[in-house]
């Protein structure tokens, strides 16, 4: 079994793969100040919950946008007896042509997402990740990564608004199903956050289409995607496991 690990700013996502089949997905909180021992215990509990014995795990592939988490997670995996660990960084085979002035600064989660998006075979493509940050990763008709965009995510934008505007209340983002015509302040904040994010994605895809010279295939992922995706007007596919699947592919390209 392979364990794919994607450490984001808020959560660490885990995926277990046997052959080409994903057998479980789980998540735990990202806590950079914790130790390898703590995460080894957490991982052991998750594996037990899903009926996975550590001795079945042949290796792991780790992506992290939180630098301090990488050695902690690798230590945790090795404490559980997983010694073959790949960190997605420069030198790892991805078969992805990154046309960037600073290829090493492209986040490993975005690289993994781009690898999975390219494997779908529908190019050009834009992978949209709606997480702590909202990111756009643009692949051209050859599958090369030719452009990016990064902005604050839905929840981060809402938190910044609340902190800077004294009279606005704290609200939970649980969708904006009441429609775009909000009738109170809390709903107005939800509408602004959710519909605003959807409108931004629609607008960015339109601009990417102009730059590419053709309409791209759009795949959406990330923790906030279930909130925003239903309000998108552009045709798209929602793939919650895009990054984990990309990590699985990267593992195969480096170990087979």
Asked if 103 and 115 count as a contact pair (C-beta separation under 8 A), the reply is: no
Q: How many CB atoms lie within 10 A of CB 21?
A: 8
Asked if 220 and 229 count as a contact pair (C-beta separation under 8 A), the reply is: yes
> ∠ CA 11-15-20 to the nearest 5 degrees?
155
State how far the Cα of 109 lies from the Cα of 90, in Å rounded to an integer.
13
State how far the Cα of 221 lies from the Cα of 127, in Å rounded to an integer.
8
State how far the Cα of 200 lies from the Cα of 207, in Å rounded to an integer.
11
Q: What is the pLDDT along the chain (256 residues), one digit of tens a residue?
A: 999 999 999 999 999 999 889 999 999 999 999 999 999 999 999 999 999 998 899 999 999 999 999 999 999 999 999 999 999 988 899 999 999 888 888 999 999 999 999 999 999 999 999 999 999 999 999 999 999 999 999 988 888 888 888 777 777 777 667 788 988 888 888 889 999 999 999 999 999 999 999 999 999 999 999 999 999 999 999 999 999 999 999 999 998 7
Of 210, 243, 251, the closest CA to residue 114 belongs to 243
Bridge partner list, 28: 12
Q: How many CB atoms lie within 10 A of CB 95?
A: 11
The pLDDT assigned to 237 comes to 98
The pLDDT assigned to 107 comes to 92
**Per-residue pLDDT tens over the stretch 236-245:** 999 999 999 9
Asked if 236 and 206 count as a contact pair (C-beta separation under 8 A), the reply is: no
Residues 6+ apart with CB under 8 A from 165: none
E-assigned strand segments in 103-243: 125-130, 133-139, 145-152, 217-221, 237-238
The H or E element spanning position 162 is helix 154-164
* Contacts within 8 Å (CB) and 24+ apart, 241-244: 241/15, 241/22, 241/25, 242/113, 242/116, 242/117, 242/127, 242/129, 243/6, 243/13, 243/63, 243/109, 243/112, 243/113, 243/116, 243/129, 244/4, 244/6, 244/13, 244/15, 244/22, 244/25, 244/112
What 3-state class would DSSP assign to 48?
A: helix
| Whole-number Cα distances in Å, 183 to 90, 176, 179, 180, 186 | 50, 12, 10, 9, 9
The pLDDT assigned to 176 comes to 64
Q: Which residues are catalytic?
A: 109
Bridge partner list, 238: 220
The pLDDT assigned to 177 comes to 72
**Per-residue pLDDT tens over the stretch 90-138:** 889 999 999 988 888 899 999 999 999 999 999 999 999 999 999 999 9
The pLDDT assigned to 175 comes to 65
Of 71, 73, 56, 58, the closest CA to residue 14 belongs to 73
């Amino acid at each position: 079994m392979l364990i794919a690990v994607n450490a984001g700013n808020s959560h660490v996502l885990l995926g277990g793969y046997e052959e080409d089949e994903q057998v479980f997905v789980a998540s735990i909180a990202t806590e950079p100040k914790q130790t390898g021992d703590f995460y080894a215990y957490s991982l052991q509990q998750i594996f037990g919950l899903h009926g996975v014995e550590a001795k079945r795990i042949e290796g792991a592939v780790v992506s992290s946008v939180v630098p301090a988490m990488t050695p902690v997670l690798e230590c945790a995996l090795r404490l559980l007896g997983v010694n073959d660990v790949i960190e997605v960084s420069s030198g790892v085979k991805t078969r992805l042509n990154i046309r960037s002035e600073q290829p090493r600064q492209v986040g490993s989660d975005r690289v993994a997402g781009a690898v999975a998006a390219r494997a779908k075979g529908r190019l050009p493509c834009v992978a949209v990740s709606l997480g702590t940050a909202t990111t756009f990763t643009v692949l051209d008709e050859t599958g090369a990564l030719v452009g990016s965009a990064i902005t604050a995510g839905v929840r981060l934008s809402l938190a910044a608004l609340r902190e800077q505007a004294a009279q606005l209340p704290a609200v939970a983002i649980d969708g904006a199903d009441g429609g775009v015509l909000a009738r109170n302040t809390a709903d107005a904040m939800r509408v602004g956050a959710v519909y605003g994010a959807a409108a931004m994605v629609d607008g960015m895809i339109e601009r990417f289409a102009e730059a590419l010279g053709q309409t791209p295939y759009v795949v959406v992922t990330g923790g906030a995607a279930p909130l925003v995706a239903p309000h998108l007007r552009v045709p798209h596919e929602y793939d919650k496991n895009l990054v984990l699947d990309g990590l699985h592919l990267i593992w195969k390209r480096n170990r087979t």
